A and B are shown apart, each in its own frame.
Chain A
Amino acid sequence: MGERLLEVKDLSTHFFTHVGVVKAVNGVSFTLDREETIGIVGESGSGKTVAALSVMRLVPDPPGKIVAGDVRLAGRDLLALTEDEMRAVRGNDIAMIFQDPMTSLNPVFKVGDQIAEAIMLHQDKKKDEAWEMAAALLERVGIPDAKKRVNQYPFEFSGGMRQRAMIAMAISCNPDILIADEPTTALDVTIQAQIMDVIREMQTQFRSGVIMITHDLGVVAEIADKVMVMYGGRTVEYGPVDAIYYDPHHPYTWGLLGSLPRLDLAEKHRLQPIKGQPPDLLLLPPGCPFVGRCAYEVPRCRGEWPPLELVGPDHGVHCWIPVERRLEMRAGLPRFKEWVA
């Protein structure tokens, strides 16, 4: 693809609590190019959000700390920046949209104020001008009557409109990278598609790279160019979106795909849930965090984290099961034929 925007290498973020160290993100690596979208998928507590917050250096410290790794924005080492330098990056080069638009806007300030604030901070604009830009941005993300809306408070907006306002705020400084942390999870199903459309439009207009954090594989299939599957703070598999959907190699990815409802098939099937509970991040085994829930566990899994194994172009997996065995097992899955169909 195009120009490389972001390079994250072996990122580890741990939380030091009085009950122990929570390894929320454990040696995660990925890259993002201009106009590219990476989907980070995984269930709650898999470390998706913490990974994204680490890129922005917004992990609450204490108790959180980025203990290892390298985050480079267009070659610039973000982890080496001072807090002041990092602030100039936040909102300007990297912007973020959060999960819950109901609580992510400050209730006591006007929507226009909250957008204009970011513009004035990063673009050296006067107040009037910034407010005008804020109104224009609201219009751009599809809020009708934006001139009036800009003077309203968040409580006067519906959930979908608030998320549009959040997007307007995020794109206000034309960021290179837009991080969207489950931007549609808290919204009505009918609004979700609209919000995804807005994000995609903004991405095309501003030529941003997008990091889309979600647990919804449907969303990922629609919007992402490549996918990183996270589990228990680790990347278990990553690759181009087609490879993840049609040639998944990790048992956890199989599980995710198997639990996805399909409406396009004539034959009806039961959904296949992944058995068991997500791991306790305090008590992670030294090896693969998916042990215990994985139906194909081999003795080595528990004690040692498997190295990266490339199974296709830009498609990697961390799994001890030998590749031939894996393909055999996958072929035996009841729903695998449907995925590739």
Chain B
Amino acid sequence: MLTYIVRRLLQLFIVLFGVSIITFVMLYVIPGDPARMLAGKNATEEKIQEIRVQKGLDKPIYIQYGKWLGGVLQGDLGESYYLQQSVGSMIVENAPNTIQLALAAVLIELLGVPLGIYSALRQYSFWDTTLTTAALIVWGIPVFVLGVFMQWFFGLKLDQWLGVDIFPLTGAGDNVLWVIPASWESLMSLVLPAVTLGVIEVAYISYMQRASMLEVIRSDYIRTARAKGLSERVVVGKHALKNAVIPVMTIAGIDLGALLGGAILTETVFARPGIGLMIYEAIGRRDAPVIAGGVLFATVVYVFANLFVDLGYAAVDPRIRLEE
């Protein structure tokens, strides 16, 4: 088990190395000169050249990469071109909001598990058809469309009808213990983005859970369990459930990993400070150190989430042995 984890962590370094190279190459290839953008619209060529030299942008890309990598190995992710702030401190500042949003969204999406099981156990019933159809429709809505709709309906219309301001349209509140909303307002500002992300995933998870439950419930070992005289509650709750959640666990785990790296679209629509919004804004400004640092952070989180999913597998399914 331990050797397995160590090996996976070593693989992480290879992944990070690859991801950082790709990020650098892409930054180099996409149009837009960071020095020119930094200098402003009316800057002279000399001024631009001066900034270029100052930020080291006049050097070949592999020198730039080498310098950056050297810093990273010493724990220094560099400094933002614009904000006179180290990338490390920007990540520390933005991560709590993103983690909060990711955890809330995944908690919401886990509602899909009971919904999917309910559907599967009453296959082709009115509620199954309704839930499955609704799931397919919701699943097809792009997150930015749903986000804007949520802002319009729950942020604006609801407030107008009720005459009170319940859900803020944008932003995030203060947190205590890193990720726990510190106030009612802070919690309310989490609701719309979390529900936007969560609802779409509820649809996906419930659809997947239904499929996997239907497959399990028809398997031979379920018939064996019934033949023993077990009640339907034990057959479903013990024998079927443990087998049926395995595929769904993967989806939820990988979702969590992806969201922890920053929900770019959602954070942008709700102008909610977080890793996603940080990267999005940095891309607009060609703020290379912030982009590279943000992507690196997202990669680390994603790889760790995958590792936890795999460890979770081994806990649920005895056939999976991690040492081998």
Contact B229 A98 (CB under 8 A): no
Complex interface residues of chain B between 200 and 227 (CB less than 8 A to chain A): 218-221, 223-227
The verdict on A106 contacting B228 (CB below 8 Å), with A153-B318, A153-B319, A155-B319 known, is no
* A166 to B225 Cα, complex, angstroms: 11
Residues in chain A within 8 A of chain B (CB atoms): 56, 58, 60, 87-92, 95-96, 98, 100, 103-109, 114, 117-118, 121-122, 153, 155, 166, 169
Closest residue on chain B to residue A88 by CB atoms:
B229
Question: Contacts A104-B221, A106-B239; is A95 near B318 (CB within 8 Å)?
Answer: no
In the assembled complex, which residues on chain B have CB atoms less than 8 Å from the CB atom of A107?
Answer: 221, 243, 317-319
Complex: A153 Cα to B316 Cα, angstroms: 12
Contact in complex: B230, A106 (CB < 8 Å): no
Q: How far is the CA of A108 from the CA of B320 in the complex (A)?
A: 10
**Complex interface: chain A residues within 8 A of B319 (CB):** 107-108, 153, 155
Task: Take A109-B239, A155-B318 as given contacts and tell me if A103 and B221 are in contact as well, using a CB distance cutoff of 8 Å.
Answer: yes
Tell me the nearest residue of chain A to B221, going by C-beta. Answer: A106
Q: Check if A118 sits within 8 Å of B229, measured CB to CB.
A: yes
B242 at the interface (CB under 8 A from A): yes
B230-245 toward A: CB 8 Å interface, digit per residue (1/0)?
Answer: 1100000011001100
Given contacts A106-B243, A107-B317, A108-B316, are A100 and B220 in contact (CB under 8 A)? yes
A87 touching B223 by the CB < 8 A rule? Answer: no
Which of B218, B220, B239, B317: most chain A CB closer than 10 A? B220
The answer to whether B230 and A58 have CB atoms under 8 Å apart is: no
Which residues between 310 and 324 of chain B lie within 8 Å of chain A, taking CB atoms? 316-319
Which residue of chain B has the shortest Cβ distance to A86 in the bound complex?
A: B229
Interface of A is mostly: mixed
Contact partner, A90, options B227, B238, B318, Cβ 8 Å: B227
Contact of A122 with B229 at beta-carbon distance under 8 Å, contacts A108-B318, A109-B239 already known:
yes
A185 to chain B, nearest CB (A): 13
B-side residues, CB < 8 A to A, are 218-221, 223-231, 238-239, 242-243, 316-319
Residue numbers in B under 8 Å from A109 (CB-CB): 238-239, 242
Residues of A within 8 A of B316 (CB): 108
CA A308 to CA B317, docked complex, whole Å: 53
Contact across chains for B317 and A87 when beta carbons are under 8 A apart: no
Whether A166 lies near B230 (C-beta < 8 A) is no
> Given A108-B242, A109-B239, is A56 in contact with B227 using a C-beta cutoff of 8 Å?
yes
B226 to chain A, nearest CB (A): 6
B228 near A108 (CB under 8 angstroms)? Answer: no
Complex Cα gap A24–B127 (Å): 30
Nearest CB on B from A311, distance (A):
36
Name the B residues within 8 Å of A103 (CB-CB): 219-221
- With both beta carbons as reference points, the residue of chain A lying nearest to B316 in the complex is identified as A108
Take A107-B319, A153-B318, A155-B319 as given contacts and tell me if A90 and B228 are in contact as well, using a CB distance cutoff of 8 Å. yes
Distance A200 CA – B220 CA, assembled complex (angstroms): 24
Complex Cα distance, B245 from A146, in Å, reads: 31
Let me know if A121 and B229 touch, CB within 8 A: yes
CB closest residue in chain A, given B241: A108
Q: How far is the CA of A60 from the CA of B218 in the complex (A)?
A: 9
